[in-house]
Amino acid sequence: MATPPSPVKVVLSHAPEDEKLSLELDKHLSVLRSEGMIDSFRTGAVGGGQVLDEVVHHHLDRAEVILLLVSVDFISSPRAEADIARALARQRAGQAQVIPVLLRDCDYQDASFGELKALPKNLRPVNSWPDPNEAFADVARGIREVVHKLLAERSPGSIPPPSRAPARVEKVKQVLQELGKPSVVGVAILAPFGFHKHQIAGEVLRRLQRPDEPLFPVRLVPDIQSTTEERLYDRLLRDLRRAVPEALCKVIDGHTEKSMRARFEDAVEDLLDGPVQEAGRTLLLAVDGLAHVPADELAPWAYLMARLSQRGLKILVWGEQDLHELLTQPDPGNFFSAFHLLTPISLEALTKDEVAEIVAARGGDLAARALVHKETGGHPALVYELVDRYLRDVRNGDREALAARILSGDHLERLRRMVDGDAAAQGVLRSFAGVLERPFPRGRRAGEERLLWLGVLKDAGATRWDWVAPVMQRFAGKWG
């Protein structure tokens, strides 16, 4: 039997202001450590009495994977500047692989590491995800792939193939097919909280990166703290400028005398009528985080997008209940909203086969695969929380241990905080907690719909509800 290779040495370089976020990422790497695949060090972990530069340089000079935890504090820090220079020198010498991890949004593309492939995979900074743990899990999976490759090169046959989570190929294909139809203005991906719609959107955008694709994707992230129209469109213009090749930036910057909104509109129109059209492609704006944009800014934005869609623009958005309401309810300001033109595509729970593939990739046997699906109901956040953080319990197939892990885990803690502020949802949970017959009657209470989008309840027919996962009934017991 082949001798397992020594762990890959991983260094997390971060600014002191990002200490908490670096600790969270390090926790998500704990499974890789427990499997003996990595040995990690954080630059913020230097103990008292130690000489900072000497200790950090010692670890950087021996690292095989160097994670640059990017934020505005990181790129402006002289301390980080020295780490970056040392890391890039080792990468040029073929001694290490450097991976930027986007913690907080900042203008990093022109930095010395700006051309490197970054994580999370959709290039959305961790702190702008509705669920940062979902972002960290995505980063951890990306690092796992890199580590597997390094270990396989070092000692072929000594480790199993890299575990790859199902890409939900059919859903990705469905989104791409709809976007490719000339009559479709765009797609809205709808999913309950924790159903990983970002992964689907990220995979769609990744597949569209090839130059021979008919869609030219540009990802926009509106400023969720924006309080003025000028700030909203300034952020959109910045993202547009980042996404296009440098040669096209002059198209975007050609209307400086106008308002930010007019500049954004003109820039999109110029791209549609000029280089994008000349390349035989269609411009796709993938807009992340619209649920957080203030309503008085969102309405005119949606009107603008609807008008531009008549010029050939396509749109991709993703979200939960707020997006569903934008798609289905009349706009109070009587705007002709782009959301009413989008094709909705819903994400369901992972299938039994998809769960089995995830668990099998971590070494779980048939019994463990079936048990994880039964306890989670295929709820993506619960499945990944178990396999990424509680691998030993998954492999042991202990039902009570898995249920306890879910109940005490991060996802249900976030659900508790959300339900704590929702009296209607609490009332529904209180009434359902003790119901033994399943499925149970579906009423007309507002809290029921809310729990559907929170991923607690699921449709079980036109007049019936059921729990997404059996453990959700225990969760409901808190309010029983």
Collect all residues with Cβ–Cβ distance below 8 Å to 110 and sequence separation of at least 6: none
Q: How many CB atoms lie within 10 A of CB 7?
A: 17
Q: Check whether 70 has a pLDDT greater than 50.
A: yes
Quick one: average pLDDT of 394-406? 86
Give the rounded percent of residues in the chain with a pLDDT score beyond 70: 91
Return the pLDDT at 425.
93
Least confident of 11-15, 159-163, 293-297, 371-375: 159-163
Any idea which residue has 């109901």 for tokens? 377
Name the nearest CA neighbour of 337 among 347, 350, 328: 328
User: Is 8-154 assigned to CATH 3.40.50.1100?
Assistant: no
Q: Which of the four pLDDT bands, split at 50, 70 and 90, describes residue 335?
A: low
Query: What whole-number distance in Å separates Cα of residue 207 and Cα of residue 284?
Result: 13
For residues 70-86, average pLDDT: 88
37 or 67, which is more confident: 67
CA 271/CA 265 separation, integer angstroms: 10
* pLDDT, tens digit, 9 for 90 and up, residues 213-272: 899 998 887 766 556 778 888 888 888 887 777 777 777 777 677 888 888 888 888 888
* Residue 457, pLDDT score: 94
With vertex at residue 114, the alpha carbon angle to CA 109 and CA 119, rounded to the nearest 5 degrees, is 100
With cut-offs at 50, 70 and 90, classify the pLDDT of residue 47: very low
Cβ atoms within 10 Å, residue 424: 15
pLDDT above 70 for 332: no
Residue 388 clears pLDDT 90, i.e. is over it: no
Q: Give 184 or 249, the one with higher predicted confidence.
A: 184
pLDDT confidence band for 56 (50 / 70 / 90)? confident
* Residue 158, pLDDT above cutoff 60: no
3-class secondary-structure state, position 261: helix
Higher-scoring residue by pLDDT: 89, 79 = 89
* Higher-pLDDT residue of 190, 135: 190
Residue 242 burial class via C-beta count within 10 angstroms: exposed 0-12, middle 13-18, buried 19 and up: middle
Which DSSP string corresponds to 105-162?
----TTSTTTTS--BSTT---GGGSSSHHHHHHHHHHHHHHHHHHHHHHHSTTSSPPP
DSSP assignments along 192-211, one per residue: -TTS-HHHHHHHHHHHTTST
pLDDT of residue 463: 87
- Residue 48 banded pLDDT, cuts 50, 70, 90: very low
How is the chain split into domains, by residue range? 8-154, 169-346, 350-408, 421-480
| pLDDT number for residue 443 | 83
Residue 51 pLDDT? 42
Q: Which of 78, 60, 69, 71 is closest to 9 using CA atoms? A: 60
pLDDT tens, residue by residue, 352-378? 998 988 888 777 788 888 999 999 999
CATH of the structural domain 169-346, one choice from 3.40.50.300, 3.50.50.60, 3.40.50.720, 3.40.190.10: 3.40.50.300
What pLDDT, on the 0 to 100 scale, is given for residue 429? 92
Pairwise CA distance, residues 384 & 393, whole Å = 13
The pLDDT of residue 37: 84
Answer whether 149's CB lies under 8 Å from 64's CB.
no
pLDDT of 66 above 90: yes
Using the predicted structure, report yes or no on whether residue 1 has a pLDDT greater than 50.
no
- The 10s digit of each residue's pLDDT in 114-130 is 888 899 877 788 888 87
pLDDT recorded at residue 49: 42
Q: Do the domains 8-154 and 169-346 sit in the same CATH topology, yes or no?
A: yes
- The rounded distance, in Å, linking the Cα atoms of 466 and 130 is 25
Whether 226 and 296 have beta carbons less than 8 Å apart is answered as no
* Mean pLDDT in residue range 336-344: 86
